[in-house]
Chain A
Amino acid sequence: MPTSRHHPGGSAGRAPAPVALVALALLVAGPARAADEIVLGASVPITGVFAFAGVGIHAGIGDYVGLVNQDGGIDGRPVRYVAEDTAYKVDASVAAFNRITSQYEVQLYYGDSTAFSKTMAPELARRGTILMGGDSFASELNDPERFPYHFLSGPDYTEMFGILLRYIADQSPGAKVAFVHSDTEFGRDPIARGTEIAEELGLSVPITIVTAPGSVDVTTEVLRLRRVRPDYTIFHGYVLAPIPEFITQARQMRLRTEFMGTFWSMDNAIVQTMGDAADGFLGVMPYRYYYDESADAPMLAKIREIRPEYQSTAYMQGFVTAMLMIEATRRALATGEPLTGASLKAGLNSIRDFDTGGLIGVPISITGNSVPVGRIYRADAQAGRMVPASDWIVLE
């Protein structure tokens, strides 16, 4: 038998003993931990289709936790951030949750994807010890009765539509608005309720176009849009494609409509990759951009100090989520009650006129599961930046 055939099995036998011993020792010893630490676990998509956001989210959470620990933790209790990559797969996210919660006593958890949040809802209710935030802004999660231990660190998708539509109603009352969305749970989320809100605001929605996510050939859809000639067109459920193609073709057909997007298509680096098509692209954003030098945003200055290079809106999302989780913990500890999912959520819901260090431009209050605040930004192709197009809009 040729000796090469023994490779797969044989190589393990030749593994250097010291390496194996160190690995074993580390395994047996487990992670070193302080008795009173607060643990923030996270399932983050550092690889996979959502990696463009996951890397930023991970950095954002890590940086905020680092800042808190530099300042002595939460009332002297250190915060430990334990993250694991999920590749944006629900089974891997649940595995990460199980692994982290079996190794640490976790109070706070960052979950990726709507499906993961929905999957974990019964488990969180059963445990009753964890408060969960995450990267999903699904309207379904904005229901304190069904999801008592969840929160969204911004407006849900329906509220984002509400902010966009309110801006449109202010700018051009009675305008015609087209919705273009992907054929996914994410894409369909705000459409039905968004249409009702538009009508309540005196706007009309003459056309709703559905495309495959990431589709490229959108000629027929643009022709349909041209027939209706809407004043505004809102994209939802995409990160990039087919937005640039849509805008380019619509401009070639001399269609005069203002294009708009929601959170995940609003990162400055992503918008600028659209090139010329980006100019004038509008959208809703709950957080300030990295380069915003407003005097009332000291936290952004601090972030620029830690990371001199541009940080995405996903970074801001992770940063703000960690900030709200830690504020909730601080408030829960202040009541003297033991830390449970319920006391943490009560702490979160006691937040009134809270200053995020300027990351969100107005003081925020959290009465339910979301933070219904946002601002309209416009892409300025010459400056290569998103610039504010409205004041901060707070939904009641």
Chain B
Amino acid sequence: MRIGHAKESYAADEALLDSPFQWTMLALMIAGLAALPLFGDPYWVYLVCLIAIHVIGATGLNILTGFTGLVSLGHAAFLGVGAYTVAVLEARIGTPFPVNLLAGGLAAAAVGLVVGLPSLRVKGLYLAIATIAASVILHFVFLHWASLTGGPAGLSLPPATLFGVALDTPFALYWLILPVAGVMVLGAANLFRTRVGRAFIAIRDRDISAELIGIPLLKTKLMSFGISSFYAGVAGGLWAYFFRVVTPESFPLIMSIFFLAAIIVGGLGSILGGVLGAVFMTLVPEALKLGVGLLSGVLPDAVAILAPVRTVVFGALIIGFLIFEPLGLAEIWRRFRRLQHLWPFRT
């Protein structure tokens, strides 16, 4: 049971981590993540990198959809803008990777601002369709602006280099991707302790009321689009360095749906939810594959027989979560923590 935990100031009340235990757990998690590439096998290093990229993308979409209430199905296209920007800068101009990543984020943010313009007039499903239209247009640009994007064959880019060391393996990129993901998630968590973040939430809860209390709707909605797309652009830039090939088919509509599913499963309007959702959506299919792999010792050709079953199980898990916990994994985590705080007493 948690006792002796009185807060004496507003700063303490607003703190992201409010107990020594939480700080210890965070330190342990960071130590664990730092040790993983040194002791874990390359498969796990690869997966954690992929999860971190998905976490950035999902956090970005959560800012827009979860916190501001603007549904977007164009998120994958924003990742594409970031990825192409990084690929062009790295392959054609050769600027250093921090500049490229930042440029990727800013380019995506600029495109996001334009795409966000209809959000003042339309919302809900209408906005979702408008963002799909934007993603179709961007896809067309990726495909047909061949002099810049390499057309249907796309662009291959050399690895990022840091002090002359090529970051060409998941092991090397791990030390780039994870810190960036950490900083971006921290940035998002802090955003909602500022006036801007609270304005986003006010718009989500009731945009007319938000306007009445003095929040400029267009500016704030566009800001949300811009920040969300910036996150997508950075995720796309890291994706480009990770896979080192960017083609128009790399960022399909289904990827936008993946991110939307991640934040719904994780918990809309919760930073932890975006993180947990991205982890769930990336890890569960792999875990199910591991299960199928284990069964292949017992059941001959388990891969062929159980692969479709795996897809059904994954779908059923998502539906199960939505039915039993519409508030997502973040709520399950919160409930677990409440239980922990009250143990051994229960309410």
Q: Is the CB of B335 within 8 A of A59?
A: no
- Whether A115 lies near B245 (C-beta < 8 A) is yes
A35 within 8 A of partner (CB): no
Q: Is the CB of B311 within 8 A of A47?
A: yes
B243 at the interface (CB under 8 A from A): yes
CB within 8 Å for A84 and B245 given contacts A7-B324, A9-B335, A94-B46: no
CB of B186, distance to nearest CB on chain A (Å): 25
Asked if residues B249 and A85 are in contact (CB atoms below 8 Å), the reply is no
A254 CA to B53 CA, complexed, in Å: 54
* Contact yes or no, B154 A185, CB < 8 A: yes
For A9, what are the chain B residues with a Cβ–Cβ distance below 8 Å? Answer: 332, 335-336
Instruction: Choose, from A95-103, A215-223, A350-358, the stretch at the interface.
Output: A95-103
> Residue B220 at the A interface, CB < 8 A?
no
Instruction: Give chain B's interface secondary structure class.
Output: helix
Contact A184 B335 (CB under 8 A): no
Nearest CB in chain A: distance from B295 CB, A: 9
List residues 1-25 of chain A with CB under 8 A from any CB of chain B.
1, 4-5, 7-9, 23
Contacts of B320 in A (CB 8 A): 8
Taking the complex as formed, is A258 at the interface, i.e. its CB lies under 8 A from any CB of chain B? Answer: no
Range of interface residues on B (Cβ < 8 Å): 35 or more
Report A65-104 CB contacts with B as 1/0, cut-off 8 Å: 0000000000000000001110100111011101101110
- Looking at B23-31, B72-80, B296-304, the stretch in contact with chain A turns out to be B296-304
B180 interface residue (CB < 8 Å to A): no
Question: B123 in the interface, Cβ–Cβ < 8 Å?
Answer: no
Q: Answer whether residue A27 sits at the interface, using C-beta atoms and an 8 A cutoff.
A: yes
Cβ–Cβ contact A185 & B249, under 8 A: yes
Taking A85-B307, A188-B151 as contacts, is the C-beta distance between A8 and B336 under 8 angstroms? Answer: no
Q: Could you pull out 15 A-B pairs where Cβ atoms are within 8 angstroms?
A: A9-B332, A83-B303, A84-B293, A85-B307, A87-B311, A92-B285, A98-B46, A115-B245, A122-B159, A183-B143, A183-B152, A185-B152, A185-B248, A185-B249, A188-B151
Q: Which residues of A contact B (CB under 8 A)?
A: 1, 4-5, 7-9, 23, 26-27, 31, 44, 46-47, 51, 55, 58-59, 62, 83-85, 87, 90-92, 94-96, 98-99, 101-103, 115, 118-119, 122-123, 126, 140, 183-185, 187-189
Q: A46-B303, A51-B308 are in contact. List 5 more A-B contacts (CB 8 A).
A: A8-B321, A94-B243, A140-B153, A185-B247, A185-B249
**Which residues of B approach A to under 8 Å, CB–CB?**
41-43, 46-47, 50, 143, 151-154, 156, 159, 168-170, 243-245, 247-250, 285-286, 289, 291-294, 297, 301, 303-304, 307-308, 310-311, 320-321, 324-325, 332, 335-336, 347
